Structure 1
């Protein structure tokens, strides 16, 4: 199996079959509306995982060592990470890894509607960063992403001073007051 999508799971913890040894070839994972799960499986052990999307997981308060697993190089292939509508997410820990590099291949990071998250970890490999409808203090973390080439900010009334200092690689900047304008798509005939 290469892709796994779980939506609306009501359990308080994920089943054992979601561990790395049972799903070693996963490339994409999407967990949506798993409202009762407080802890995330050790996805960092999945050697081939390239895309991870976590949305509407209201009881998750921290992303930390339980998600990284006990491997030497957590998330060795992860390229895109999306965290959306995680209303109680407060902390994203990376300092517990004892010097191990995390997210070495992560190029695209999207954080949307995580109002309690106030700081992002420094991830030097990120090139595309999207922050939407979060606490304005989260925007201060953008200063640490000096290698980004694309930045999208959405849903903020105020932008912090020095937001774009030291961003010599930035090629594209999009700032939206509210949501992006809807684009009408006409069905093909």
Structure 2
């Protein structure tokens, strides 16, 4: 049985599943992340908290000839049902980001876009991401620096936990992930920090 924080997240996003893709900002952010990561040919990619698979779908469109192995995990079955309809070739799993059901050294790239502030246990999620990454693998996060309160239902203190490189680095640091590069994506009043991290050892 799911613990209460995860159950609440599941119920919330199951209810949003059919309308989530109507967000132009989230679609644009997925395209930005796909443009930023530039995976190599044949890369195994895991999108954590994938939702409706927007990042995976953007990667599939951007890199149609790279034979990417696309996987996603999310706590919401409803969101994943949409993802399966939109990208049937991806491997999609209902599960907890803090307990990834994948073998060690399974992926070349792990992404997590606009979701860190939703996760109850970011430290363990980061450890799990580092565990499943192969040697030389990369993790990419996208976190809100500023957000439009009209679009997102008012100020969100959880987003403020990850609204700078320093804050994200503190959250990910114990896992061994270290910053490589970053840029800021802007969409109206939203600003999202997109950052790449590698394991230090």
TM bucket (normalised to shorter chain) is 0.3 to 0.5
TM-score normalised by length of structure 1:
0.32
Q: Which has the higher strand share?
A: 2
TM-score normalised by length of structure 2:
0.31
Greater relative contact order (Cα < 8 A, sep 6+): 2
